[in-house]
Amino acid sequence: MLSPRVLKSASSLMCRGFSMGQMCRQGKAPDMADGNTFLLVSNVRNRLREIVGASTNWRDHQQALAERASLTQYLANSQDELPTKTMKDSAIEAHLPLGTQPALREKYLNYHNSVRFGRILEDLDSLAVLICYSHTWNKELQRSPLSIVTALVDKIDMRKNIIYPDCDIKFTGHVTWVGKTSIEAKMHMSQFHDGVYSDVLDATFVMVARDPENKRAAFINPLKPEGPEEEAIFQQGEINKKRRVELSTASLLKVAPTAEERTLIHNQFLNTLDTRTVSFRSRILPPNSVWMEDAKMKGLEICHPQERNIFNRIFGGFLMRKAYELGWANACAFAGCRPTLVAVDDILFRRPVEIGSLLLLSSQVCYTEGMHVQVRVHTEVLDPLTRQHSTTNVFHFTFRVDKDVPAVVPQSYGESMLYLDGKRHFDETMRGQS
């Protein structure tokens, strides 16, 4: 992230005679084209609709999509045609005034008198899209010809377990790396408590740019780092990209487990054999363990127009919220106590979810260690006419509880691969926490 001196817009507004509370109460949301980057979270999605030209009325969405098709003429034929941007060009500060606007709290409050983290995921997703539009914004056009959508949530690391429901929250973020058609955006969330803003989380999202009809890739503005601090940030983006490629190449869906992983699974299998019989089929559950089959939870969502994004598909933040809440519930039921989130990583958006879809969610506790629970949530759409299932997302959540939890034990080869995949994500999260 850029150092605080880069993100000056909110402080410059206050220097003109507005306090933070006044700005929140008056709903100040300066226009992006004016170079201002202070927004209220409630205005982020409205600003996105303005940029894209999306209709706020579901009945008019077909006309809005037809109008966007005409913007294809403004797409660049190569990246070289586009002006270079800096990290400052996309820097945004957004405020969620839970302290100064009590009416907002009902939407964000959970029954533990804390903030619903699923709502925070929705806000992060919207803000990441707006950051990327800030990077690609052309002042000469009223609307952007690009369709920028979430491709991947690379990582969300929690710095603090408690999010207060009655204290203002601040999000800051900017573009940190770009390819030809993809963009990495980093965001930081802090909360005002006891007179200071303290760190809550850091998030890294990867977005992709497509044409106005969201049918093919589109070029985006190149990014030029300024100074050694920004150069280091950009190089970290290159490292992140390389790491994602390596993880994809080593996926258990593509290659066999390592020798160490194969030994782990075989030893686990031997521990479940009934020593009273001479049979590979006779399996018993070791002490303080749970079969993976018994550590599942499922859900169903009918995808209504209310949850659509600016491109009239289901909002990615909504999918993340529903997956998180199911994963949290699964971890809670498994551990028998309230879990706290440690990290979110490797959320891959494989395909969009259309309005009217039947969305099936399946949560699985796939790995445990000490007081940690690793949960995988798989989502797919079901076509009720053809009964075809299509995977849309896979989510990975790491939770922590206040006591040691049982081990989960796979029985089939497929469950063993889920176990190893969960262990890989857990180990990666723990390395990032150290």
Q: Are residues 213 and 260 in the same domain?
A: no
Look-up of token digits 């940190």: 176
Residue 335 domain flag: yes
Q: Which of 222, 248, 274 is the last residue of a domain?
A: 248
Instruction: Tell me what pLDDT residue 45 has.
Output: 86
Segment holding 51, helix H or strand E: helix 41-52
Q: Which of 217, 248, 279 is the last residue of a domain?
A: 248
Residue 203 domain flag: yes
Closest CA to 207 of 154, 149, 159: 149
Instruction: Tell me what pLDDT residue 21 has.
Output: 42
Residue 4 domain flag: no
Q: What is the CATH classification number for the domain harbouring 370?
A: 3.10.129.10
| Predicted structure pTM score | 0.86
- Please check the confidence at residue 310 and state whether its pLDDT lies above 90: no
Q: Long-range contact list for 17-24, CB < 8 A, 24+ apart? A: 20/95, 20/97, 20/100, 20/168, 21/97, 21/100, 23/95, 24/95, 24/97, 24/100, 24/101, 24/168
Three-state DSSP state, 127: helix
Range of the domain at 94: 9-248
Give the pLDDT confidence of 212-253 residue by residue, as tens digits. 988 899 999 999 999 999 999 999 999 999 988 888 888 998
As a whole number, the mean pLDDT across the chain is 87
Closest CA to 248 of 154, 179, 373: 154
- Please check the confidence at residue 281 and state whether its pLDDT lies above 80: no
Q: Are residues 217 and 319 in the same domain?
A: no
Question: How many domains would you assign to the chain?
Answer: 2
Residue 2 domain flag: no
CA angle at 269 for the pair 268 and 274, rounded to the nearest 5°: 115
Q: Are residues 110 and 197 in the same domain?
A: yes
Q: Are residues 323 and 242 in the same domain?
A: no
Structure tokens at 20: 């933070």
Non-local (6+) Cβ contacts of 119 within 8 A are 107, 108, 321
Residue 50 domain flag: yes
Residue 141 domain flag: yes
Q: Which of 248, 275, 298 is the last residue of a domain?
A: 248
Give the pLDDT confidence of 388-403 residue by residue, as tens digits. 899 999 999 999 999 9
Q: Are residues 188 and 288 in the same domain?
A: no
Residue 225 domain flag: yes
Give the pLDDT confidence of 80-122 residue by residue, as tens digits. 999 999 999 999 999 999 998 998 999 999 888 889 999 999 9
Residue 1 domain flag: no
> Dihedral of CA 115/118/124/130: which sign?
negative
- Please check the confidence at residue 127 and state whether its pLDDT lies above 50: yes
- Please check the confidence at residue 59 and state whether its pLDDT lies above 80: no
Instruction: Tell me what pLDDT residue 9 has.
Output: 36
Max avg pLDDT among 42-46, 67-71, 134-138 = 134-138
Q: Are residues 160 and 201 in the same domain?
A: yes
Q: Are residues 144 and 66 in the same domain?
A: yes
Report d(CA 183, CA 128) in Å as an integer.
Answer: 10
Categorise residue 182: left if φ over 0, alpha if ψ from -120 to 50, beta otherwise.
beta
Q: Are residues 155 and 219 in the same domain?
A: yes
